Amino acid sequence: MYGYHGKLLFINLSTGNIEIRPLKEEDARNFIGGPALGAKILYEEMPANADVFGEDSMVGFVTGPLNNNRALFGGRYTVVSKSPVTGGWNDANAGGYFGPMLKAAGFDAVFVNGISEKPVYVFVDEGRAEILDASDLWGLTVSETEAKIRAKHGEKINAALIGPGGENLSYFAAVINDGHRAAGRGGTGAVIGSKNLKAVVVRGNLSTEVADRKKLVAANKSISDNMKGAAAELATAFGRFGTGIFYIPSTLSSDASIKNWGGAAGIDYTEEEAYLVSSANLEQFVLKKYNCSNCPLACGAIMDVPSERWELANIDRPEYETMGAFGSQILNSDYESVLRCNLLCNEYGLDTISAGATVSWIVECYENGLFTKEELDGIEATWGNGDSIVALTELICKNEGIGQVLIKGTRYAADHLGKGHEYLVVASGIEEPQHDGRLAYGVTRTYQYDPTPGRHVKGGLGLAPSGPDFDYSDTGEADLQGVVGTEVLNSSGLCMFGNMVSPPDALLNLIEAVTGFQYSPEEFRKLGTRMFNIRHAFNIREGMTRKDFTLSKRFYESNPPYEGPIAGVKVDHERLADNFFETIGWDKETLIPSLSSLEELGGMEAVIADFYG
């Protein structure tokens, strides 16, 4: 097989068993890699309704064929597991160098189940794997852990690891590699922590053969040319400012959350306030840029920020999502506090999107008298109070005080504390990323019914503002096309931002060049639809039906009296969903895909056997 080693590594931490199994060519062709291939494997290997923190629960680290094969922007890998938040499917991806290095270590994916009696890490070294003691790593932060691993195994390793957040079973515990690249969402870090697994460490120099080197060179050249041509402006700005390039316009348009999704863009949070947190202001502190594997954009930056309150030397520039989560969402223009929260989350291994949303929720609860200062460990949790935002984040990171409840996210906290449900803004319990469904209506369908709810990196109608003339009558086909493209993108290992500056045919050209698989337009559509369905099938097998995919009202209906760009908006999100279900072939209540749609897709035999006998 081109582009793959054809090897999957399975490790059982209860028994210590390590097994190498072949990756079937038909699975590679049908599911490519990343979340879709991960879902295919977990669907078959993990029993239905397994306890998310039990021995049968499985977590996977899955590469894409573009990893380590000289494809531009081909650096992303995916972690997969069941989610402790939704009780259903979870996948989350990250850039950096871990995915390519896992490939260089000789495997297309690593899957781990079982529970170790003591803390361990897995060391994968050029085709071999062993389980090693991690007692001296347990309790350490991300940078401390990585430093110790490097001291032992040398600088040529890479590691995907958890911080104390994962050890403490935070429902938004992330998996971090390269010190700052986070596969953050959905709580896979907690699943890893529940296994007493601290890290997967990889090392190697193995390569895979590319099917068509000339075609790969041509595809890479088309991307480079596009970055100098049609996408030059975006590429230049993106390389200079990172994802934070979007922060100011997003806060002004109502794309980003303002005041826990209850405020008015440009009024409650002004352009001047947004500027302080934005990449434009932070540019003065940038020391150097960094990139992921084989990326010519380098959207990451290290900064040195003078501060009398916190140590902010040699820190990462926050991503757009983090700026929104800890900035406009909490009416916070104190950029030092945003940077401090970003650093804390990276070090403790927590997802900044959910962490910021959780702080935002408790602030709104406090402002409305649901909690006293004493109940919040003496913290004056008011809007825009940078010191308080940091103090709350620190309690979450350290699992102390009110942080012991907040560490499991907003829905758990509201249920556990018995209040604040009216201020939740979640999709199936997952806190929302920084794109408002009341501005781009299709986001409501994506956030509500993607197999991983509440995700900004999943497909659908996209982020373009809908406007007053939005036509609900025929959205299903465009929605599905958006899903198909994003599914294939995420499974390939290509970076989404890289794809934004690439010509439209680059993704397929790269996949075909590396793997040698060819996909007609009809096969490409089936490929992406199959990927979506296999992730979805995991949820349906867990017993989830339409009523389990919930969306907070504040995400689809403006709150009276609301001002600003989305005043008076009420999105008919269930109609968008109906349109989508009709197009993809799902029953509108059970959400079970029709037999004919599954048969037409092919490669779904296990799903057909489960639902149709």
- Closer residue to ligand SF4 (CB): 177 or 337: 177
Contact 488, 481 (CB under 8 A): no
Query: Which of the 8 DSSP states describes residue 440?
Result: S
- Spell out the residues 6+ positions from residue 254 whose beta carbon is closer than 8 angstroms to its own: 265, 436, 438, 439, 564, 565, 566
Query: Is residue 405 a contact point for ligand SF4 (CB under 6 A)?
Result: no
**Beta-ladder partners of 202:** 124, 158
Query: Is residue 495 a contact point for ligand SF4 (CB under 6 A)?
Result: yes
- Stretch of 11-19, 152-160, 492-500, 557-565 contacting ligand SF4, by CB under 6 A: 492-500
**The binder of ligand SF4 chosen from 4, 10, 61, 73 (CB under 6 A):** 73
Contact 456, 439 (CB under 8 A): no
Query: Is residue 75 a contact point for ligand SF4 (CB under 6 A)?
Result: yes
Query: Is residue 64 a contact point for ligand SF4 (CB under 6 A)?
Result: no
Shortest Cβ 290–ligand SF4 spacing (Å): 7
Strand ranges inside 334-456, DSSP E? 426-427, 430-431
Element (H, E) at 10: strand 7-12
Which of 275, 279, 277 shows the shortest CA–CA distance to 289?
279
Query: Is residue 291 a contact point for ligand SF4 (CB under 6 A)?
Result: yes
Shortest Cβ 423–ligand SF4 spacing (Å): 32
CA distance 169 to 152: 27
Query: Is residue 182 a contact point for ligand SF4 (CB under 6 A)?
Result: no
CA distance 44 to 387: 48
Shortest Cβ 182–ligand SF4 spacing (Å): 11
**The binder of ligand SF4 chosen from 171, 497, 532, 556 (CB under 6 A):** 497
Shortest Cβ 511–ligand SF4 spacing (Å): 17
Q: Which amino acid is at 490?
A: N
200 backbone dihedrals φ, ψ, rounded to 5°: -115, 115
Structure tokens at 115: 């529970």
Shortest Cβ 291–ligand SF4 spacing (Å): 4
For the chain, what is the radius of gyration of the CA atoms? 22
DSSP 494-520: --HHHHHTS-TTHHHHHHHHHH-----
Per-residue binding letters, 109-128, with ligand SF4 (x by CB under 6 A): --------------------
- Closer residue to ligand SF4 (CB): 292 or 439: 292
Shortest Cβ 63–ligand SF4 spacing (Å): 15
- Closer residue to ligand SF4 (CB): 292 or 430: 292
Q: Which amino acid is at 530?
A: R
Q: Burial code of 286-319, b = ≥16 C-beta within 10 A, e = fewer?
A: beeebbbbbbebebbbbbebeeeebebeebbbbb
Shortest Cβ 382–ligand SF4 spacing (Å): 34
> Of 139-158, which residues contact ligand SF4 (CB under 6 A)?
none
DSSP 63-118: --TTTTTT-TT---EEEEEE-TTTSSEEEEEE-TTHHHHHHHTT-SEEEEES--SS
Shortest Cβ 495–ligand SF4 spacing (Å): 3
- Spell out the residues 6+ positions from residue 24 whose beta carbon is closer than 8 angstroms to its own: none
Structure tokens at 385: 């109070």
CA distance 166 to 151: 23
- Spell out the residues 6+ positions from residue 398 whose beta carbon is closer than 8 angstroms to its own: 164, 348
CA distance 489 to 483: 10
**The binder of ligand SF4 chosen from 33, 35, 64, 95 (CB under 6 A):** 95
**Are β-strands 109-113 and 7-12 bridged in parallel, bridged antiparallel, or unpaired?**
parallel
Per-residue binding letters, 227-246, with ligand SF4 (x by CB under 6 A): --------------------
- Stretch of 40-48, 57-65, 348-356, 491-499 contacting ligand SF4, by CB under 6 A: 491-499
What Å distances lie between residue 454 and 180, 449, 519, CA to CA?
22, 9, 30
CA distance 195 to 59: 10
Total number of residues that touch ligand SF4 (CB under 6 A): 13
**The binder of ligand SF4 chosen from 60, 189, 498, 593 (CB under 6 A):** 498
Shortest Cβ 333–ligand SF4 spacing (Å): 25
- Stretch of 30-38, 163-171, 409-417, 490-498 contacting ligand SF4, by CB under 6 A: 490-498
> Of 293-312, which residues contact ligand SF4 (CB under 6 A)?
295, 297-300
Query: Is residue 292 a contact point for ligand SF4 (CB under 6 A)?
Result: yes
- Closer residue to ligand SF4 (CB): 93 or 388: 93
Give the 3-state secondary structure of residue 200. Answer: strand
- Stretch of 166-174, 346-354, 412-420, 493-501 contacting ligand SF4, by CB under 6 A: 493-501
Contact 532, 252 (CB under 8 A): no
- Closer residue to ligand SF4 (CB): 95 or 451: 95
- Closer residue to ligand SF4 (CB): 43 or 77: 77
Shortest Cβ 74–ligand SF4 spacing (Å): 8
- Closer residue to ligand SF4 (CB): 99 or 263: 99
- Closer residue to ligand SF4 (CB): 439 or 489: 489
Shortest Cβ 503–ligand SF4 spacing (Å): 16
- Closer residue to ligand SF4 (CB): 119 or 242: 242
Residues that bind ligand SF4 (CB under 6 A): 73, 75, 95, 291-292, 295, 297-300, 495, 497-498
